[in-house]
């Protein structure tokens, strides 16, 4: 069997002296692994970095076999992202979550395109710019929807109002307005405006959004494989929290 597709590199694992097992998130073939001859060599190492967009040709005896990848570079995001601690931590977090959550060979073309957009933003933004953090939070919101844990941010669960949404129920994932929250507001998660509109975000907004998505991501991973979020996701939370504290100081 053989196919060709575009893909985003999630990671590699060394195999023998000079080869690697490459894991990629492809547009039409989902999360897929393959053997890359010479992948551990200096010439190929820069191409096979997480976050890079590549052209892939896969060959294998059967659809569920490991097979072999031929790889050609398209967009080298990794070089720019690796120089930025925040975007790099974000990339590692997303790669780890995708590798754990998406069934192999199951296509998610919409999520693939959203990840392409996120990588563009991570590579273009300055470290101090909260725009990359806002883009990440929006991606996690969409990722939750893709894995069946989507937040319902369309209208207030209590009043039905579509404007003034300010909170999210930690139990149902539904949005609530200030009026609808009433005496229960202290039990609800804050809903930053940028998650439901084109509003701009500062670091405290980003921190609040990532705390919100983390709550539901933790629930998903606990139920799916009985483990916590990837370590990289907790590092990202702490990094953004420090930026938010500095902004509030």
Task: Count structural domains, the chain.
Answer: 2
What per-residue confidence (pLDDT) applies to 144? 97
**From CA 237, how far away is CA 223, in angstroms rounded?**
21
Q: Of 25, 46, 75, which closes a domain?
A: 75
Asked if residue 195 and residue 122 are part of one domain, the reply reads: yes
What per-residue confidence (pLDDT) applies to 43? 80
Asked if residue 240 and residue 198 are part of one domain, the reply reads: yes
Q: What is the average pLDDT across 124-140?
A: 97
Asked if residue 88 and residue 26 are part of one domain, the reply reads: no
Asked if residue 18 and residue 137 are part of one domain, the reply reads: no
What per-residue confidence (pLDDT) applies to 180? 96
What are the residues whose beta carbons fall under 8 Å from the beta carbon of 125, sequence distance 6 or more?
A: 84, 87, 131, 132, 135
3-class secondary structure, 87:
helix
What per-residue confidence (pLDDT) applies to 62? 82
| CATH code, domain with 213 | 1.20.1440
3-class secondary structure, 59:
strand
Nearest to 173 by CA among 195, 189, 185, 194: 189
Evaluate if residue 93 carries a pLDDT over 90: yes
> Is 164 a member of any domain?
no
Q: Express each pLDDT in 39-50 by its tens digit.
A: 888 788 889 999
Q: Which domain holds residue 37?
A: 2-75
Asked if residue 229 and residue 196 are part of one domain, the reply reads: yes
Categorize the per-residue pLDDT at 234 as very low, low, confident or very high, splitting at 50, 70 and 90: very high
Asked if residue 133 and residue 54 are part of one domain, the reply reads: no
Asked if residue 85 and residue 31 are part of one domain, the reply reads: no
Asked if residue 204 and residue 114 are part of one domain, the reply reads: yes
Evaluate if residue 68 carries a pLDDT over 70: yes
Evaluate if residue 38 carries a pLDDT over 90: no
pTM confidence score: 0.95
What per-residue confidence (pLDDT) applies to 141? 98
Q: Express each pLDDT in 172-224 by its tens digit.
A: 999 999 999 999 999 999 999 999 999 999 999 999 999 999 999 999 999 99
| Count of positions (residues) in the chain | 249
The DSSP code for 47 is: T
Is residue 122 a contact partner of residue 91, using CB atoms and an 8 Å limit? yes
Instruction: Quote the strand ranges of the chain, DSSP E.
Output: 2-15, 19-26, 30-36, 53-59, 68-75, 165-168, 175-177, 189-190
Residue 32 is encoded by which pair of tokens?
Answer: 């897929």
Asked if residue 119 and residue 24 are part of one domain, the reply reads: no
Q: What is the average pLDDT across 103-112?
A: 96
Q: Given its phi and psi angles, is residue 38 left (phi above 0), alpha (psi -120 to 50 degrees) or beta?
A: left
Categorize the per-residue pLDDT at 66 as very low, low, confident or very high, splitting at 50, 70 and 90: confident
**From CA 35, how far away is CA 161, in angstroms rounded?**
53
Asked if residue 139 and residue 69 are part of one domain, the reply reads: no
Q: Of 53, 75, 97, which closes a domain?
A: 75
Asked if residue 112 and residue 46 are part of one domain, the reply reads: no
> Is 163 a member of any domain?
no
> Is 195 a member of any domain?
yes
> Is 170 a member of any domain?
no
Query: Rounded to the nearest 5°, which phi and psi values hold at 90?
Result: -60, -45
**From CA 126, how far away is CA 246, in angstroms rounded?**
17
What number of other Cβ atoms are within 10 A of residue 127's Cβ? Answer: 12
Evaluate if residue 249 carries a pLDDT over 70: no
What per-residue confidence (pLDDT) applies to 70? 95
3-class secondary structure, 210:
helix
Is residue 99 a contact partner of residue 27, using CB atoms and an 8 Å limit? no
Q: What is the average pLDDT across 31-40?
A: 92
Helices 131-146 and 109-124: crossing angle, nearest 10°? 170
Q: Of 31, 51, 75, which closes a domain?
A: 75
> Is 180 a member of any domain?
no
> Is 172 a member of any domain?
no
> Is 63 a member of any domain?
yes
Q: What is the average pLDDT across 134-147?
A: 97
| CATH code, domain with 55 | 2.40.50.140
The DSSP code for 143 is: H
What per-residue confidence (pLDDT) applies to 208? 97
> Is 7 a member of any domain?
yes
Q: What is the average pLDDT across 228-244?
A: 96
First to last CA, the chain: 59
H-type alpha helices, 36-107? 42-45, 77-81, 85-101
Asked if residue 84 and residue 206 are part of one domain, the reply reads: yes
């Amino acid at each position: 069997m053989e196919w060709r597709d575009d893909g985003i590199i999630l990671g590699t694992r060394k195999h023998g002296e000079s080869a690697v097992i490459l894991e990629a998130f492809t547009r039409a073939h989902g999360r897929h692994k393959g053997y890359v001859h010479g992948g551990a060599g200096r010439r190929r190492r820069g191409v096979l970095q997480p976050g890079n967009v590549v052209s892939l040709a896969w060959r294998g005896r059967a659809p569920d076999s490991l097979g072999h990848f031929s790889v050609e570079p398209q967009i080298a995001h990794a070089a720019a992202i690796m120089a930025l601690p925040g975007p790099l931590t974000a990339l590692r977090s997303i790669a780890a979550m995708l590798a754990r959550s998406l069934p192999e060979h199951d296509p998610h073309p919409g999520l693939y395109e959203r990840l392409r957009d996120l990588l563009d933003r991570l590579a273009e933004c300055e470290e101090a710019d909260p725009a990359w953090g806002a883009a990440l939070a929006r991606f996690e919101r969409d990722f939750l929807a893709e894995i069946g844990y989507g937040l319902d941010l369309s209208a207030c669960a209590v009043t039905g109002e579509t404007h003034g949404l300010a909170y999210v129920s930690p139990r149902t994932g539904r949005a609530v307005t200030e009026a609808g929250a009433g005496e229960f507001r202290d039990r609800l998660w804050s809903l930053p405006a940028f998650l439901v509109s084109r509003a701009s975000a500062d670091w405290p907004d980003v921190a609040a959004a990532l705390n919100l998505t983390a709550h539901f991501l933790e629930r998903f991973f606990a139920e799916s494989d009985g483990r916590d979020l990837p370590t990289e996701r907790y590092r990202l939370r702490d990094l953004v929290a420090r930026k938010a504290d500095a902004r509030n100081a």
